[in-house]
Amino acid sequence: MIDVITNVVLEGIVIFLTILTGKAIFKVWKSNKNRVNAMMIIYILFLAIGSITRIQEFMGLSIDFTIGAGFQIYHIFGILIIGFQFAFTFYIKEWKRFYYFPLVMSIFVATGLIQYDFQYFFIAFALLSTFIPFALLLYIGIKNRNGVVFMLAVFILVNGIALNIRGLVGIIIRIVAMVILFAGTSGFVDKYLLIDKKEKLRLQNVWISKIM
C-alpha cells in the first residue's frame, strides 16, 4: 500500500511539472504562434496522459485491452510520443523530405503489433526516437545557444532512459527529466546558463553608461 501511495505521489509530481512546462510553452506560443511550440504542447499533453494512465495502473484502475495480436493501450501513447519527437526534430531542421517519416513508421510499427505482436519494431523505433533527436537537437541547441532546444534534447535522452526502468527509480528519473525540460521552456537556461557573450557585454556597457 505504501509503495502504491509513493508511486502515485511521485507520478503526481511528474504531472505537476508537466503542467508547468505546458503553461510555459503555451505562453510563448500565444506570442508567436510558432508551429514547433504547438507541436510541443501536443507532445506535453501526451506525456501528461501517459502519467495519468500510470496512476490508474498503480491504483488497479487501468483499462486492459488488446487490439489484434499485441497492440495495447501503452503502445498508443508510446507511438504518439515517439512520433512527435521525430516530427518536431525534423521540423526544426527543416528536413521536409522526412516530415512524413514519423507517420509512416508509426503505421508500420502499429501494424506489426496488431498482426504479429512484433515488439522489436516498437523497441527499435523507441531507441531511434531517443538517440537521433537527442543528437540533432543537442547540436542545434549548442550551435544556436538555444536553451529550449538544448534542454529538450537532454530531456528526450533522460526520459527515454527512464521509460525503460520500472518502479520507483524510473519515476524519479522522469521527475528529473521534467525538471530539465521545465528549466529550458521557462527561459531559465537561456537567461542564466546559455548567455550570449556579446549580449552580456552590451548589457554591461548600458549599465556602466547609466552609472556614468
Burial bucket for residue 182 (CB in 10 Å: 0-12, 13-18, 19+):
buried
Distance CA 8, CA 55 (A): 6
Distance CA 66, CA 71 (A): 5
79, pLDDT greater than 50? yes
208, pLDDT greater than 50? no
* pTM (whole model) above 0.95: no
Mean pLDDT of all residues in 32-39: 84
65, pLDDT greater than 80? no
- Predicted local confidence at residue 195, as pLDDT: 65
What pLDDT, in 10s, does the model give residues 86-111? 998 998 888 999 999 999 999 999 99
pLDDT band at 138 (very low <50, low <70, confident <90, very high): very high
Distance CA 161, CA 170 (A): 8
- Predicted local confidence at residue 16, as pLDDT: 96
3 state SS for 33-100: CCHHHHHHHHHHHHHHHHHHHHHHHHCCCCCCCEECCCEEHHHHHHHHHHHHHHHHHHHHHCCHHHCC
Domains of the chain and CATH, by start? 2-211 (1.20.1070)
pLDDT band at 64 (very low <50, low <70, confident <90, very high): confident
Contact 209, 45 (CB under 8 A): no
